[in-house]
Amino acid sequence: MATLTFEPSGIRDDYARAYLSPMMRAGTREFVANVHARLGVVQGDGFALPIAFDFERGDSYVVSPLSHYVGYGAEELSKLGRPRVEATLRSVLKSVGSGLEASGFDEVVSVNNWLLSTNLWPPLSTSEVRDVLEALVATFPNRPILFRSLDLARNALTFGALSSLGCVPLFSRVVHYQDPRRADFWHVRQLREDERRVRKVPAELVTTFTDDDLARVKVLYDDLYLRKYSTFNPQFTVAFLRNARDEGLLDLRGWRVDGELVAAWGAFVRSGVMTVPVFGYDTAASKKLALYRLSSLEVSRRARERGLLVNASGGVGAFKKARSGVTTVEFNLVFTRHLPWRRRLAWSALGRFLDRVAVPIILHGEY
* Strand-pair partners of 263: 255, 281
Assign 122 a pLDDT band (cuts: 50, 70, 90).
very high
Task: Determine the average pLDDT of the residues in 199-219.
Answer: 96
Instruction: Determine which of 50-64, 156-170, 191-205 has the lowest per-residue pLDDT on average.
Output: 191-205
Long-range contacts of 248-254 (CB under 8 A, 24+ apart): 249/15, 249/18, 249/19, 250/277, 250/278, 251/302, 251/306, 252/207, 252/209, 252/217, 252/278, 253/205, 253/206, 253/207, 253/298, 253/302, 254/205, 254/206, 254/209, 254/213, 254/217
- Residue pair 126/158 in contact by the 8 Å Cβ criterion: no
In the sheet that 251-257 helps form, which strands lie side by side, from edge to edge?
3-5, 38-44, 47-53, 109-111, 145-151, 326-335, 168-178, 309-311, 273-281, 260-270, 251-257, 204-206
- Banded model confidence at residue 362, pLDDT cuts 50, 70, 90: low
Integer Cα distance of 301 and 328 in angstroms: 22
φ/ψ (deg, to 5) at 277: -75, -25
Q: Which is nearest to 301 in space by CA: 327, 265, 260?
A: 265
pLDDT recorded at residue 80: 61
pLDDT-derived band at 6, boundaries 50, 70, 90:
very high
pLDDT of 273: 98
CA–CA separation, 19 and 248 (whole Å): 9
Q: 3-class SS at 14?
A: helix
Q: Is 113 exposed, middle or buried (CB count within 10 Å of its CB: 0-12, 13-18, 19+)? A: buried
* pLDDT classification of 126: cutoffs 50, 70, 90: very high
CA 230, CA 216: separation in Å to the nearest integer?
19
pTM for this entry: 0.93
Contact predicate 244/266, CB 8 Å: yes
Contact 154, 331 (CB under 8 A): no
pLDDT tens column, 223-260: 999 999 999 999 999 999 999 999 999 999 999 999 99
Output DSSP code: residue 121: P
Q: How many residues does the chain have?
A: 367
In 3D space, the residue among 47, 43, 67, 46 whose CA is nearest the CA of residue 55 turns out to be 67
Phi-psi region of 325 (alpha: psi -120 to 50; beta: other; left: phi over 0): beta
Report pLDDT digits (tens) over 268-324: 999 999 999 999 999 999 988 999 999 999 999 999 999 999 999 988 888 899 898
C-alpha to C-alpha distance for 308 and 172, rounded to whole angstroms? 24
Kindly tell me if the per-residue pLDDT of 49 is higher than 80: yes
Does the pLDDT of residue 139 top 70, yes or no?
Answer: yes
Q: Determine the Cα–Cα distance for residues 191 and 234; give it in Å rounded to an integer.
A: 30
DSSP string, 334-352: EE-TTS-HHHHHHHHHHHH
Please give the mean pLDDT across all residues of the chain: 92
Supply the pLDDT for residue 85: 66
Residue 364 has pLDDT above 80, yes or no: no
Q: How far is CA 122 from the centre of its chain?
A: 15
185: Cβ–Cβ under 8 A, 6 or more apart, which residues?
A: 178, 179, 191, 300, 324
**Which segments within 190-294 are labelled E, that is strand?**
204-206, 251-257, 260-270, 273-281
